[in-house]
Chain A
Amino acid sequence: MKRILLTLGLVAAAGLALAGPRDNSLVVGASQEPRVLGDAWAFVSSAAIASEIENFLWAGLEYIDIDGNDQPYLATEVPTTENGRVKVTDLGEGKKRIDIHYTLRDDIFWSDGEPITSADVAFYYEVGKYPGAPVQDPSYWNRVKLSVQDDKNFTVSFEPAYFYDLVGSAIGIAPAHVMKGEWEKTKAEIAKLDPEKDAAKITELFQGFVSKFATPNALNKGSMVYSGPFVLKKWVPGSSLEMARNPKFFLTPPGGADKYVQKVTYRFIGDTNALLVAILGGGIDATSSVALTFDQARAPQLVRRAQGRFDIWAVPGVIWEHAEVNKFANVQEVKDLMLDNPKTRQAILYAMNRQGLVDAFFDGLQPVADTWVHFADPNANPNVKKYPYDPEKAKQLLAELGWKDLDGDGYLERKTDDGRTVKFELEYVTTAGNRIRERTQVFFQNDLKKVGIKVKINNAPSSVVFSNDFFSKAYDGSWKGLFEFAWLFGIVDDAGVFTCKDYITGETYVPTPENNYSGVNFNWCNEEFDRLRAKAMIEFDAAKRKQYWQKMQEIWAEELPALPYYWRSSPLVVKKGLVNFVSSTYFGSFGYPTTNAWLIGWAENGAQQVFDQAKYGISAVEQ
């Protein structure tokens, strides 16, 4: 029996033996699997792993390059005011309109040979704009308009327009010649329903329409066509997805496409420990951006075996680990601890040894954050006020606020205006079961104890702490102190998280009963910050916008509406010799190593290195 099993093993393993440079292929290991691919409108899903794989299969009008700049893709050039393709119109009352003129390249084709034209953009627009479409970003669809001039020229307009409308592709694209027939049937079905009463049924019809083209079954049947450097060959749900080079793709990498990988396979291994074992076993050439945890990528078993076989990189990402602070003074605990006073928040941050934390937990590979703006963002202000670990400074600030250890128990107390004695006991909430966060809590609990602040940990599972009744109801005291979690700030972040009043729309983002607990600003209202943001939002001159943005960061760092901890880094494990499978903070908006998929190849097969990962990440092997 043993012999039979071993023989079976050898027979099947022969397939793996050919992987990598030997047959010019690539196997990527991922811990998540997309549910659908090519759901251009995100009616079903917009998962990161889907976006990463879609980079192989479909091209947009533009893409964000490794340095965070716009580059043309299907379009002939990136529209700007300088090249006359962007027209800005001032509408008064702090509102503007922009018209963005695109021209499609002449040499672009779908994988079935049909040319890519303005009709494909118009089709995308028609579906997304259709009444009842379950779009996840209604603000975009409410503001966008399209006018088509001819097969290759069209104009996308936004009213009111915001600066981020010029970042990346202004509109999507979908193959009209393939999808139109099914769309007409779907429209006929929708027409029979009442949009008010049958909203859920209409959503199902939209999702059903997408499912005809985007599910594994549909894609395996060849129901979809591709515009990217690869085409999908086979998707075995729960196991793997194979792609082969698209002969109709219009870009040729240096030296010719045959020198670069011809076949890409994604292997989906949900358990990250099992994924680590698969990497150690040699069956994986590179990890996806959704793969190992940071700790697993630095596991001694992997690092020890990495020499000469793998590079392990830590790439600073856009996930901002931080603690929100409840600043609603109507909550008794907040008032007692004066958490609405910037001085209190400054004292807490001075008392937290954030550099010590990232050194101890992450070998210093996850950089300490100064504000909510990433240091790799072109608008980052490196000169903002910083809060290095300084417990003496923290004690001094707390003393200025009237805190003293009155009873000699090592913790601070103060007399309130109404004659009560309150102890500095700070609630600290985070997602239970997240080991890093729980360890961070204990680390900071110890730091804060040194300055006389007692930390009371109050964790619950993420489904509980992020439920509306908990997360959004800080006004009612659902949480009363710090709440650690992470925001993801892409290159188009508009500081909406810290905006109190939006001077363009008139909306308020402080969750109170008055606005039905809408928004995520836990009561930090700085008029200057909000007014600067309103200006920046409609400023299409990058240099001017940067000035507003930098001033906003100064205000933010002084007032500290939240406590910035660190930027999470994404681990990337790449076999030696594989080139251009690289990541950076903003590559493809969120650091996807597949953004320039046509350049990925093996050096020994003649693929030329275009990007150097060392410029965009830190090696974890040399640490």
Chain B
Amino acid sequence: MIAYTLRRLLQMIPLLFFVSLAIYTLVALQPGDPLEGLIFQNPHLTQEDIAKLKAAYGLDQPIHIRYFKWLGRALQGDLGLSRTYAQPAAQFIYGRMQNTLLLTGLSFLLALAVAIPVGVFSAVRQYSIADYVVTFFSFVGYSTPVFWLGIMLMLLFAVWLPERLGRFEPIFPAGGFVSPGTSPETVGWWAYLKDRAWYLVLPVFTLSVLSMAGWTRFTRSSMLEVLQQDYIRTARSKGLTERVVIYKHALRNALIPIVTLVGLAIPGLFSGAVITETIFSWPGMGRALFDSLLEKDYNVAMAALVFLAFLTALFNLLADLAYAVVDPRIRYN
């Protein structure tokens, strides 16, 4: 197991090298460069001025030279300065990552906490009214566009309901992640945490709906498959209680494919959710990555994408290792 893990970790080095090279090339090959807007807007710039500006932003050299310069610095722990934020790219990414993990982590936990019990419930009561209701709402949740749901929830809780209730303040705020002027220093930790929770409700719910619906369906079908296995019939014939059959024998086996699915979803927690973050003005990784690509802030884009590539490789490995934990038949040599 240890040798296998080490081998996989070593394999990640060439993998990350090629991934970073591919990402750098793709980012650099985007049409246009960061100076084009500036150049168009200023007809007074001479050829000499433009050449100097290109040199000043390191755009005067071919892509491969730029890449190896970036790689050299990255290997020394320097991911460069964000051109648009004027702060080290790594520091910027770290700040955004914290916000993102709070949002995506909570929605991940909420989705998991709802999807697995509801999926199991739905499977053990197959073709009951409850199963049809769960199936119906799963399909609704799965097919509802996030941008639409987010805006509708905001309208409902920030505009329509307050109007109906005759109050001017929103029940839940229309975007943002903390009330202006609210910090632990100004209002105390408890009030600050309550305020943050108030802002989290709508985006967390919006973001979790899709995974909640998908994972519910997946859990249901995985459970149904397991429930038809011989060993479940055997367990029942041994006289085990239904609770033990479902939770000890069936669910444990049904979890194997779910672990894969959930394990592969974990890197997504770090990459953020562009649409939800944008609608709810949540300053997370998704928006940072999207903005950095649009604004051609190469250092931020590279730092974010390579970090995400590393996480994807790492969580692939962890998902593989988790198989061995949940399924004793699997052993790595």
Min CB distance A391 to B, Å, is 34
Contact of B158 among A199, A265, A267, A281 (CB under 8 A): A281
B36 near A271 with CB under 8 A, answer no
In the complex, chain B residues whose CB is within 8 Å of the CB of A471: 40
Q: Is B182 an interface residue (CB 8 A)?
A: yes
Most buried by A among B46, B56, B159, B162: B56
Chain B 34-46 interface 0/1 with A at a Cβ cutoff of 8 Å (1 = within): 0011101111111
Q: Is B24 an interface residue (CB 8 A)?
A: no
Contact of B86 among A17, A211, A268, A463 (CB under 8 A): A211
Most buried by A among B41, B49, B169, B174: B174
User: Which of the 9-residue segments A115-123, A272-280, A431-439 touches chain B?
Assistant: A272-280
B40 near A274 with CB under 8 A, answer no
Contacts A8-B194, A274-B280 given; does A283 touch B173 at CB 8 Å: yes
Q: Is A269 an interface residue (CB 8 A)?
A: yes
Contact of A17 among B56, B168, B174, B201 (CB under 8 A): B168
In the complex, chain B residues whose CB is within 8 Å of the CB of A282: 162, 168-170
User: Which of the 9-residue segments A95-103, A441-449, A515-523, A546-554 touches chain B?
Assistant: A515-523
B32 near A265 with CB under 8 A, answer no
A238 near B283 with CB under 8 A, answer yes
Contact of A12 among B38, B46, B198 (CB under 8 A): B198
The count of A-to-B residue pairs whose CB atoms sit within 8 angstroms is: 215
In the complex, chain B residues whose CB is within 8 Å of the CB of A132: 56
Most buried by B among A9, A137, A214, A463: A9
Min CB distance A491 to B, Å, is 15
Contact of B81 among A6, A204, A236, A520 (CB under 8 A): A204
Most buried by B among A39, A139, A202, A278: A278
In the complex, chain A residues whose CB is within 8 Å of the CB of B191: 11
B162 near A281 with CB under 8 A, answer yes
A281 near B36 with CB under 8 A, answer no
Residues of B67-104 at the interface with A, using a CB-CB cut-off of 8 Å, are 80-81, 83-87, 95, 99
B36 near A497 with CB under 8 A, answer no
A139 near B174 with CB under 8 A, answer no
Most buried by A among B30, B40, B150: B40
Q: Is B55 an interface residue (CB 8 A)?
A: yes
Residues of A499-526 at the interface with B, using a CB-CB cut-off of 8 Å, are 499, 505, 507, 509, 515-516, 518-520
B197 near A466 with CB under 8 A, answer no
Contacts A273-B279, A499-B43 given; does A139 touch B158 at CB 8 Å: no
Contacts A217-B87, A278-B158, A467-B32 given; does A203 touch B56 at CB 8 Å: yes
B180 near A277 with CB under 8 A, answer no
Min CB distance A213 to B, Å, is 10
Q: Is A145 an interface residue (CB 8 A)?
A: no
Q: Is B53 an interface residue (CB 8 A)?
A: yes
Contacts A237-B283, A271-B278, A281-B159 given; does A15 touch B181 at CB 8 Å: yes
Contact of B281 among A39, A137, A274, A280 (CB under 8 A): A274
In the complex, chain B residues whose CB is within 8 Å of the CB of A207: 81, 83, 86
A/B interface sample: 9 pairs, CB < 8 A: A43-B86, A45-B84, A199-B52, A268-B281, A278-B158, A464-B32, A468-B32, A468-B36, A488-B41
Chain B: residues with CB nearer than 8 A to chain A? Answer: 30-32, 36-38, 40-47, 49-50, 52-53, 55-58, 60, 80-81, 83-87, 95, 99, 150-151, 154-155, 158-159, 162, 168-183, 191, 194-195, 197-199, 201, 278-283, 287, 294
